[in-house]
Structure formats: structure tokens, C-alpha cells
């Protein structure tokens, strides 16, 4: 669905592949599930590690089937934009990312990007 909207999407199968993809260039946004296998908090743990290492400081959205108060609190703790359980919610978050990206580009004297999120972008400097 994201690709049909014109977004460049890179799907990875595990954290090692995600680490390699991030080493190649920071995406505009990471969209992640929360539960992986038996680990019900793997997505939070992974983003927490990325933040601690400084590997990725950009926006994160969790796309999952369960949005509880506890999960919303954990998402806030790791600095995620939020949790989406429906495509419409995910697109709302992605629209926010694009709006912020356009505002940053304008403030930096760069042309505003067009279309959905793509690569490369690592957020505003500083």
C-alpha cells in the first residue's frame, strides 16, 4: 500500500538486516512492528538501542494490531511518533513526517521535497 502511494519502501526481515540498511543511509521514517516471535517488546527494545547508539534519531512509527496504554507509554519513552493499527493512522503519521521534512527543508533554504517519504534524510542538523 505504501509503494502504491509512491513511497520508497525497504523491507527487512530482522534486526541485523535493519542495521545494515541503516548503515547504508538513514530513512525518513522507520515503520516497525512491536512483537517479534515471542518477544512482545522487540520493536521498543530495538529502537531504544538505536537511540542509545546514535545510529538512528529520526521518526519511528509502530504499525501493529494492538494499541494499549502500556504500549503508547513505551512508544513515547523511545521517542516514537506513535502507534498505528490502521492504514489511515499510519498515513497520518507519515503525512506528519513529510510536513516536518518540508518545513525543515524550507528553513534550511532547500527546495521542499515532493511525494511521500524517501531516502536519504536524517532529520534536521543538531
Contact (Cβ atoms closer than 8 angstroms) between residue 45 and residue 15:
no
Look up residue 46 and give its three cell numbers. 530495538
- For the segment 45-75, what is each residue's pLDDT rounded down to a tens digit? 999 999 999 999 999 999 999 999 999 999 9
Are residues 59 and 79 in contact, defined by beta-carbon separation less than 8 angstroms? no
Contacts of 27 (CB under 8 A, 6+ apart): 10, 21, 58, 117, 119, 120, 121
Q: What would the pLDDT profile of 8-29 be if each residue is shown by its tens digit? A: 888 898 999 999 999 998 888 9
Q: Domains in the chain and their CATH numbers?
A: 3-103 (3.40.50.2300)
At residue 119, the pLDDT reads 34
Q: Return the H-helix or E-strand segment holding 31.
A: strand 30-32
Tally the C-alpha atoms within 13 A of residue 69's C-alpha that lie toward its C-beta.
Answer: 0
The confidence band for 124, taking pLDDT boundaries of 50, 70 and 90, is very low
Each residue of 68-109: pLDDT tens digit? Answer: 999 999 999 999 999 999 999 999 999 898 888 777 766 656
Amino acid at each position: 500500500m505504501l509503494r502504491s502511494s509512491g513511497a520508497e519502501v525497504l523491507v527487512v526481515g530482522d534486526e541485523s538486516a535493519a542495521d545494515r540498511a541503516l548503515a547504508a543511509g538513514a530513512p525518513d521514517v522507520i515503520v516497525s512492528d512491536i512483537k517479534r516471535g515471542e518477544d512482545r517488546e522487540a520493536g521498543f527494545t530495538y529502537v531504544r538501542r538505536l537511540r542509545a547508539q546514535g545510529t538512528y534519531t529520526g521518526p519511528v512509527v509502530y504499525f501493529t494490531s494492538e494499541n494499549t496504554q502500556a504500549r503508547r507509554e513505551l512508544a513515547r519513552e523511545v521517542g516514537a511518533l506513535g502507534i498505528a493499527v490502521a492504514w489511515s493512522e499510519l498515513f497520518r503519521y507519515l503525512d506528519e513526517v513529510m510536513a516536518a521534512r518540508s518545513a525543515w527543508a524550507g528553513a534550511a533554504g532547500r527546495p521542499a521535497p515532493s511525494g511521500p517519504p524517501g531516502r536519504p534524510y536524517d532529520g534536521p542538523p543538531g
